[in-house]
Each structure stands twice: as structure tokens, then as C-alpha cells.
Amino acid sequence: MKDISESQARLKGIFNITVTPFTRAGEFDYAGLARNIERVIGLGYDGILIGGTYGEFPAMTATERAQMFRQVMEVVGDRVPVMLCSAGSDARVVRELTELAGSLGGLPMVTPPFVSEVTDAQIVSFFRQMAPLSRTGILVYNAPGIGITLPPVVLEQLADIPGVVGIKQGDLNPTAIDQLAHRLGGRLRLFCASDLAFLGPMMCGFDGISTTNSGALPELILATYRALEQGDAATARDLHRLWYPYRALARRLGQPQLVKAAMNLRGFDGQHVRPPLSDLNAEEVSLIEAELHRLASDKRSGVTLA
């Protein structure tokens, strides 16, 4: 993408949150990453997200993240829009990666600075400093998982900053979703950050979702989203119900480790997680395998096993 206008136009639909495949020794598997990207683009996903919280960016150095940005943009080109997570607790790193992401044609995704006792005013000031750094604008990621949940009143302030093209909303409180959809819908792009419960935000008028579990269940989650997009809420509901047991495992065992294990079972390039995360044990993997077999037995899922 070349500028903010193009980012605003293309930032919609279903985006795969691409996991970062690491070897057992902790090295990047760039060939595997490229295959994962090609799979979801080939299936018809509208975009991808690289190096997010489930992409394990906190376990990477700034140099590693910059190299991954470059590698991914070489693979994708301009075929689909790419969100590149430039979040961090060190504003110098965020600045560097935000500038790089925009210069490469990606859309930088920025979280609030996760430092102790940061105030709302400091958060707004931080985003005012970051937004002008990228020629493609920035995406605000409201990520409760980092320990800071931005309330709607703060998100409305951030929406007024020139260069903010969208919000990826990780706080799925129904009241917050309703407020954002009705106060900010149409002003900028609104994305649901979780595939575990995206039907509600989309019915409220959100513009798209980002999905980690589509690494493991790309066909099923895409079919669910497309049904909802086409106004077939009943089919979307039934397909979403179909993988509830998998979602229960995801909540219990954690992402991205569960996603990577499921990908490996399907013959995809999930590989390993980096410390402080740990790969799932044999008993946990067997639970995922049983769930994949259950899904594969239902033709509606589209899931096949290697």
C-alpha cells in the first residue's frame, strides 16, 4: 500500500494472523512462513497480520522483527494488505519498526506502550507521535493481553488523530463493542481481534476480523466469515458452533502453542514456540488430534488431515 487513503480502502475483511514458525533450536523458518502465507492467500483471505502477540513478537529482537517484515513483504508484494505489528514497550523500537513497516507498504499495528502506570494522556500523546511516522498510517491495537485495556472514550480520542486508519479491538465486552460500532463506525476501520467470538462484533457493523486459529482451520473459519459477510447468519452460526470444542481447548491450552500443534498435525508449518512459551506435551497434542478428527468427520468443516 502506498498511502493512508489506500490503507483505508483496503483494510477490511478477514485477515489471517500468521504464526511465526520457529525451529526446535529457536531459529526462524522463513520457508515455512512463506508456505503458510501462500496457503491463506490461495484460499482467498483478504489480508494477513505478521508479528503480532500470537506471532510472538515479545520473544524477538528488534532486528529479527525488521528482517521478518522485509522477508514477508517480499513474499506478499501487493497481493493483499499486510498488517505489520510494530508494538513494543520501548518507544524507540516502536518508532523504528513503525517507520520501516510503512516504508515497506505494510500497515503498522501499534499497541499502547505497556509500561507501569502509563496515563491516558500519555497514551494519546504516544499515538500522536507514532501516527505521522508511517506513510500508510497506523492501526491502533487495543490489546488487553498486554495489561492495558483502552476504554471507548480513549479510543475515540485516538480515532481523531490524523493517520489512524483503524482500531483492532481486543476488548470484546459487548458494551464496548456496541459503543465503538455506533460512535466510530464509518469514521475508520474497526476490526475484531479474536476469532473465538467474532459474530457479535461483525453483526454490530465491524469491518473485519483477524484470526489466529485460521492457521490451523483456514477453510472452516473462512467459510464462517464469508457466510456472515453474505448475510447468511444462520450458516455462520452453525459453522461457528461446529468448532466450539476446539475453541474450548484454545482457551485452556493457550495460543499460539495450540495453533502450532494443530497446524503440525495437519501437515502445515506450525513448528515450535519460543520461550517463555512451551510446546504442548503429548497428552495435550492428543486432545487436539482427537478434535481435528472430529472436525474432519463433518464435511461442513472443510478440514482434512495429512
306, pLDDT greater than 80: no
Per-residue confidence (pLDDT) for residue 254, from 0 to 100:
95
Active site residue 299: no
The active-site residue out of 12, 45, 54, 141 is: 141
116, pLDDT greater than 90: no
Assign 3-class secondary structure to 229-249: HCCCHHHHHHHHHHCHHHHHH
The active-site residue out of 45, 54, 168, 225 is: 168
Per-residue confidence (pLDDT) for residue 224, from 0 to 100:
97
Closest CA to 243 of 305, 298, 169, 174: 298
Domains and CATH numbers, the chain: 4-242 (3.20.20.70)
Average confidence (pLDDT) over 118-124: 95
Q: Contact 83/106 with Cβ under 8 angstroms?
A: yes
pLDDT band at 146 (very low <50, low <70, confident <90, very high): confident
Per-residue confidence (pLDDT) for residue 201, from 0 to 100:
96
Q: Tell me the whole-structure pTM to 2 decimals.
A: 0.96
Average confidence (pLDDT) over 133-147: 94
Rounded-to-integer distance, Cα 39 and Cα 28, Å: 18
Average confidence (pLDDT) over 24-32: 96
Per-residue confidence (pLDDT) for residue 147, from 0 to 100:
83
129, pLDDT greater than 90: yes
Rounded to 5 degrees, what are φ and ψ at 297? -75, -10
Average confidence (pLDDT) over 97-103: 98
Peptide bond before residue 112 is cis, with ω within 30 degrees of 0: no
Active site residue 141: yes
Mean pLDDT, the chain, whole residue set:
96
- Read off the pLDDT of residues 149-178 as tens digits, 9 standing for 90 and up: 999 999 999 999 999 999 999 999 999 999
